[in-house]
Structure formats: structure tokens, C-alpha cells
Amino acid sequence: MFDKFPQISTTVFNKVYIECYNRSAFHSELEDELKKTKACKNLSEFHLKKIFSDEYWNFSKTWVLPAENQITELVKGIRVDIRTLYQNPSMKDVEIRVINKMVKTIKNIEIVSIILAFLIPERFCIIAPPPEHLIGFRRNSDKVDTLLSYFTDLRLLARQYNMGVFEIEKALWTIYQLRYKIPYFDEELSEELWEHYLNEPKILSLRVKNLLNELWGDSIDDDLKSKILKEKDPGLALILAMRCLERNMWESVRKTVDKDQLEKLESSTKEGNILTKLMAAADTDPVIKTRVDRIRRKRNLAMHSMRNNTEDISSSDVEEAINLNKLLS
């Protein structure tokens, strides 16, 4: 685990912030002021204007101040729910309701995230391109869903490092600035942090998850996933292609066998070799069955081999599985 994250979000963050904006960021002081004046228990326009002022940080150089009527409407709309969320942070329905109201009132999701980050920094953070880039996050057309997904990703990291969500976001922001904006500031530190970032498992997992979400979405089938992966990782691609074939075989069998036979098949899944049983139930052509058996053994090799088997499985095996799936569909 990358144990420098807490230091990055405080000491290093402040130094980098000064280099980027030629002034200090007094985030902790602003959070303390909001707590001292009980912002979460009785939110007022005074509190939001504190967040939007340049007294503690460089707000006006990056964002546009919401209109007075928006601030007034927002405070009235979320005061009670903010108090509830502050006291019961795990209440998802309240969180969704708060974010919905905020997006509807002020439209700008960055401003929404800023307000939440300073009011409840343990649970929220600022959505901004630098941390989005480092975790491979992509916004979608639904503003509320974008914020909820972003907060979920950052909370995963925060739990991993036992940090607040706003703290982890500031650490990512700092790493990004050192890498892309001010690499001259401290080249040794920049390289060290970047190397840790690239090799941190939880961050890598998020990056892969977000990339695949962007590529695949919710509707792409296993055959297409196999085509995408077949050159890079034919073993994994073959597993996906055969999963698709087996699912389609089940659909076919459910339409052709009686209830008793179907129940017998379903109860035998733990015994193994279910694909052979499905082909028998579907009265599959013997030539096709032989081809499926060959690819099934390759699939098993990809799943269970004790050694690296990339040389034993090729993209042509994946193509064969995809073609068989078309024949059996």
C-alpha cells in the first residue's frame, strides 16, 4: 500500500498549490470554520459564501460564483438533508436526494462537489480533470450519476488508505500537477510518486474498471469482448467467448427440453462437463460437437493451467469459439 498518500494530501499538496497559484490553500482552516459555525447542522448562505470566497483558497480563478438567488434557493432546499446526511453519512437515499436538488438548482457539478467536499470532506471531494484523469474516470450525460460514480470511486481509495475522500482527491491532484504541470518543481519526488501511482493495485483496478466501462458499457456481449481482447490476451478472450457459447446453449436447451429434463441438467452443473451434457440435450451435430470439445479443452487450459499458456492458445482459437457460437445460436 502506498503509505505516502497522507503526506501528499497535506504537506506536498500545499507546496504544489503555492507553486501553481502563487498563494497558499487554507482548506483545513475553512473546514474548521464551517464546523465551528455548525454549517452542517444549520446551513446558511453565509457558509456557502465562505466556501466561494478567495479568503481560504483560489476559488474565483477557477470557477464562477453562483447567482444570489441560486444560493438562497439551494440553502433552503438542502439544509435539512445536509444535516441528516452529516449525522447519517451512509443514508444513500438522502445523498441522492441532496445531489439531485443541488444539480437541479445550480447545474454545475463542480460547484456541487465543492460545497459537499468542504461540508463533509470525509465523504465527498471536488470533481476535477486531474484526479479524473488519474483514475480513468469518464463523465456521462447524467450529472447526478456522474457525481455518484465519482464519489464511489474515490471512497474505494479512501478506505484503502484510511483517509478522507477529500484528502485522497487532493493527493491525486498533487501527483497530476507534479507529473504534467510542474515537473520541474521536484523531479525526484515527481518520479517517485508517479512510479508508486503506476504500480498501486487499487488505483490500477479503478483505471481498468473505468476503461472497460467506457469500452463495453452495459450492453456489449461476451463475443465482442472476446474480439477486443483476442490479440492482447487470447486466454481471457477464449474464456469470455466460451461463456457466451454456454449461455446460448442453455437458452437453446430451455426451449427444447421438458421441465424434468431441464431440472436434471440444472442440478448436474456442479458435476462438471455441463457443456457436453447441453450439446447432448440439444442433439448437436457430431462434427460441431467435436469442434466444441476441442475448444472447450483449450478453455479449460486457459482457466486451470499451472503455467503461462499464452503459447498454447491463439487468436484463431478465439475466432473458432466465436464462429461456433454463431452456428449454435
Same domain, 175 and 279: no
Cβ-contact 119, 132 below 8 angstroms? no
Residue 190 reports pLDDT greater than 70:
yes
Please provide residue 198's backbone torsions phi and psi, each rounded to the nearest 5 degrees: -65, -30
Mean pLDDT for the stretch of residues 214-232: 69
Residues 6+ apart with CB under 8 A from 318: 226, 227, 230, 234, 237, 238, 241
Q: Measuring CA to CA, how many Å separate 130 from each of 133, 146, 169, 173, 175?
A: 5, 16, 9, 5, 9
Residue 225 reports pLDDT greater than 80:
no
In our burial notation (b when 16+ CB lie closer than 10 A, e otherwise), range 149-161 reads bbbebbbbbbebb
Same domain, 140 and 108: yes
Q: List the domain range (segments joined by +) for residue 276.
A: 222-328
Q: Choose one of 196, 215, 234: the last residue of a domain.
A: 215
Residue 309 reports pLDDT greater than 60:
no
Rounded Cα distance, 212 and 120, in Å: 30
Which helix (H) or strand (E) is 127 found in, with range? Answer: none
Same domain, 175 and 277: no
Burial (0-12, 13-18, 19+ Cβ within 10 Å), 126: buried
Residue 310 reports pLDDT greater than 60:
no
Q: Choose one of 187, 215, 243: the last residue of a domain.
A: 215
Same domain, 255 and 163: no
How many domains, the chain?
2
Rounded Cα distance, 89 and 99, in Å: 13
CA quadruple 86, 87, 88, 89: dihedral positive or negative? positive
Same domain, 67 and 190: yes
pLDDT given at position 74: 96
Residues in the chain: 329
- Low-confidence winner among 149-158, 214-223, 251-260, 266-275 (lowest mean pLDDT): 214-223
